[in-house]
Amino acid sequence: MFELSQDHEDFRAVVRDFAENEVAPNIAKWDAASYFPTDLVPKMGELGLFGLVVPEEYGGAGESGDFTSLCVAIEELGRVDQSIGITLSAGVGLGINPILTYGTEEQKQRFLPDLVAGRTLAGFGLTEPEAGSDAAASRTRAVRDGDEWVIDGAKAFITNSGTEITSVVTVTARTGTTAAGAPEISAIMVPAGTPGFIVEPAYHKLGWHVSDTHGLTFEACRVPIDNMLGEPGQGFKQFLKTLDDGRIAISALAVGCAQACLELATDYAKTRIAFGRPIGVNQGVSFQLADLAVMVEGARLLTYKAAWLKDELHAGRRSVAEVKHAASIAKLYSTEAAVSATRIATQVFGGNGFMEEYPVARFYRDAKILEIGEGTSEVQRMLIARGLGLPA
């Protein structure tokens, strides 16, 4: 029977304590001001959260860490606030992971130690204003000029891309044309502060107010040829692989959201008095909370099954196809469950649920993006159908 180890549960307690003491007392203030708490990131680094899937030589946990531990951390941070959860999820899955997986030793030594320690953050530039789920339609171009790439184009909705401690953003760009006439997509690292690398003003978002999110523009932006990540023309495949892992991490974030809603709504139903008794005695409320408990349990099991398969793949005991299929199933179910959970919790709170002083209002705003980022629900259904062997 699948279950988390005692080490995982002990780690969960450590992260929960951190979230409740370092994040919870401040999050309402940060959210209202759309403030990114830069000083929190090194504290997360000191706790080892950014290094859970990174070898010891770069400052990571090595053999004592795994992908399941990362999901535990994301869930627990997301249970208190989704913005802080996505900061970790994107920082590792979209910032660190591409460099760790495809980078040269020099690139790893240059960037990973500071990223793992939380001294810096990295971003992942795939989405464009006219190329979201159709990532292969990227219009950003990189043209070789001597020993440099000259990058022109734009990226949209990029997390951790404009903070005071952002060190690098890896972007996909067209670097040529294949023999079949298709665009050759490569991945190139662009350090923060490079001339021609323009960070646009932060988005005014529905939710995730504490998460750093910007559009990026590249105007004759020059970086060394050695800043290519991996092989030429492999950028699209690399980023698809990165998204597979990211879907499991987003599932963990969704579990945290749903768990928070279950706890908040259940506590409220026990203490809110209407017509002389707690509202939780009414089946109209209690049945909704029962349904919510089932959704949380299902989402958590699907998420940690996918995380376990990811760790088993790393050990050579599972296939890529198994992990991809499980990741899409977990992402689809968990994120849609999280959106339903926020709706149920807000309904249980009634008028108070519409007030920003209650956390359920923040979770309600934050949840919708879970069904969109890292591949929409529609994309997940397409991938699941393919995994069943149906025609593409």
User: What would the two tokens of residue 339 be?
Assistant: 């959106």
CA distance 99 to 190: 12
User: Rounded to an integer, what distance in angstroms lies between the CA atom of residue 94 and that of residue 68?
Assistant: 17
- 145 Cβ neighbours under 8 A, 6+ residues apart: 222
Within the chain, strands assigned E span: 121-125, 141-145, 148-159, 166-177, 183-191, 197-202, 213-224, 228-229, 273-274, 277-278
Please compute, for residue 301, the number of CA atoms within 13 A of its CA located in the half-sphere on the CB side.
8
Q: Nearest to residue 126, comparing CAs of 150, 161, 87, 78?
A: 161
**140 in Cβ contact with 154 (< 8 Å):** yes
The yes-or-no answer on residue 374 being catalytic is yes
Residues near 36 by beta carbon (within 8 Å), at least 6 away in sequence: 30, 163, 210, 211, 212
Task: For residue 151, list its beta bridge partners.
Answer: 142, 221
Catalytic pick among 76, 128, 336, 374: 374
Name the token pair of 250. Answer: 């987003």
* Residues of the chain by 3-state class (helix, strand, coil), percent to 5: 60, 20, 25
What residues are annotated to the active site? Answer: 374
